[in-house]
Structure 1
């Protein structure tokens, strides 16, 4: 469970997160909807521990972020400029990441690469991939360690229609596994199909909650 209490962050005297209080429960998919600059990506960054907030607190499973815990302990993330290493293959990228936590085997890596529609035996480096292939690999790196928390910014960006359906299926499977998933997206259909609740954002605030079915 993730609990945000009065979370604020300002840049150049302007609130990018404006006193946000919100809870996110296990096994649910949440959508963040809003225009560019609404605060969606900044909220994901705050929950991921990638920025220090000015005030308030973020508590994950009873532990306060940035108080003996720099990042959520079980996190998969895809936010803007991903950390893919262009000089390596898809498999090598995930193998290098796997060395940090040591929870995913080579078999897990190959299975996840296949799951997102790529070939684990492809010898091309990431810099030779199309934008859609890079996005698929970015999703793979977010899920291959079976994290409890998955944060995704525009997950279907640059992916063709068949790939979009594949990604949606994967995320619903991750939800069924029990992961908490928070998605920021401009694609209305993604939010309606995938999420249990949608939070509308503007000027760094969550100003409305809607049922995804509506």
Structure 2
């Protein structure tokens, strides 16, 4: 059974009279790339700060690596994080920056410097000062600093923010490489669903400090995939008719008896065929959204509650 890397239980953070985060329950399994998605100010960075110990919960618990530890002391040694932008010295080289952070963290030996530079694609930067790096290179250096201690769990706050399309691709490929080759579990926050959709294996959608939904990439794809929603009085017979008379197999019968048909077929043809076979039509509609529309509808609905 896959172990939990992170589990938050009713996690809340209150500032004076307002909650930045309220009753958030997140579960991240080993090997996940978890995308925490929400608008700016939704509470994403606050959650990351609570997990990394940069802020303290008003209530609730954080369980890391299977253990609920209010101090998070030992667990934090197994994590790497880049919160609110990478911390670097602009007049130093990439290697010199890593050496400063190695000494600060008390990591023995200098072997990790070269290995980390190689890992994040900065091995050939030589004597080039960080102030002359592109934004994408600076972000990779920030990830390198977070990876110095060879963590099991990496936390990144908006790692693609401000990057051009090529820079986004570089960061995405780096994160996928770390996940694939090192088995690293990753938690990433972003306000760009389309970018996270190309990367994350699981999503948590947060709005105004509350977790609205937690779902896998497959579940998100299913919700957004274009389909015809069919409801008849006998779903078993309906499925048989769709396969036998229409020759369609790309469909699924949901627990409530609704049939989701993913093949492109004229809606009138479906209605006529089902009716001709004695089925009573209760519902027939075209469904499916873009990722952005799905997110907007979910968040918009939450604002009206």
Instruction: Name which of 4, 26, 30 aligns with 1:26.
Output: 30
Query: Which structure is larger by alpha-carbon Rg, 1 or 2?
Result: 2
In the TM superposition, residue 173 of structure 1 has moved relative to its aligned partner by 2.4
Matched position secondary structure for 1:194:
coil
The TM-score with structure 2 as length reference comes to 0.63
Q: For the structure 1 residues 212 and 30, does the alpha-carbon distance in structure 2 shift closer, same or farther, using more than 3 Å as the test?
A: same
For 1:110, the equivalent position in structure 2 comes to 114
- Unaligned stretches of 5+ in structure 1? none
Cα deviations by residue, 1:18-75 (Å, 9 ceiling, x for unpaired): 0112221111111011111111111111111110111111111243344372762211
Taking the aligned partners of 2:205 and 2:167, their CA distance within structure 1 comes to 26
Residue 9, structure 1, aligned to residue 13, structure 2: yes
Residue 157, structure 1, aligned to residue 165, structure 2: no
For 1:208, the equivalent position in structure 2 comes to 213
Q: How many positions carry a matched residue from both structures? A: 213
Contact map agreement 1:135 1:158 (CA 8 A) in 2: no
Contact map agreement 1:135 1:157 (CA 8 A) in 2: no
Contact map agreement 2:80 2:153 (CA 8 A) in 1: yes
Taking the aligned partners of 2:115 and 2:70, their CA distance within structure 1 comes to 34
Residue 172, structure 1, aligned to residue 176, structure 2: yes
Matches within 5 A, 1:43-82: 43-67=47-71, 69=73, 72-82=76-86
Q: For the structure 1 residues 190 and 65, does the alpha-carbon distance in structure 2 shift closer, same or farther, using more than 3 Å as the test?
A: farther
Q: For the structure 1 residues 187 and 114, does the alpha-carbon distance in structure 2 shift closer, same or farther, using more than 3 Å as the test?
A: farther
Matched position secondary structure for 2:26:
strand
Residue 146, structure 1, aligned to residue 154, structure 2: no
Q: For the structure 1 residues 81 and 165, does the alpha-carbon distance in structure 2 shift closer, same or farther, using more than 3 Å as the test?
A: closer
Q: For the structure 1 residues 127 and 146, does the alpha-carbon distance in structure 2 shift closer, same or farther, using more than 3 Å as the test?
A: same
* Range moving further from structure 2, 136-145 or 61-70: 61-70
Query: Which is richer in helix?
Result: 2
Matched position secondary structure for 1:191:
helix
The TM-score with structure 1 as length reference comes to 0.87
Give the structure, 1 or 2, with the largest relative contact order (CA under 8 Å, sep 6 or more).
Answer: 1
- Unaligned stretches of 5+ in structure 2? 222-305
Cα deviations by residue, 1:171-202 (Å, 9 ceiling, x for unpaired): 12222322221111123233112111111100
Contact map agreement 2:36 2:44 (CA 8 A) in 1: yes
Taking the aligned partners of 2:25 and 2:6, their CA distance within structure 1 comes to 11
Taking the aligned partners of 1:199 and 1:65, their CA distance within structure 2 comes to 23
Q: For the structure 1 residues 21 and 210, does the alpha-carbon distance in structure 2 shift closer, same or farther, using more than 3 Å as the test?
A: closer
Residue 35, structure 1, aligned to residue 39, structure 2: yes
For 1:129, the equivalent position in structure 2 comes to 133
For 1:187, the equivalent position in structure 2 comes to 192
Regions of 4+ moved over 4 Å? none
Matched position secondary structure for 2:25:
strand
CA-based RMSD of the aligned residues comes to 2.2
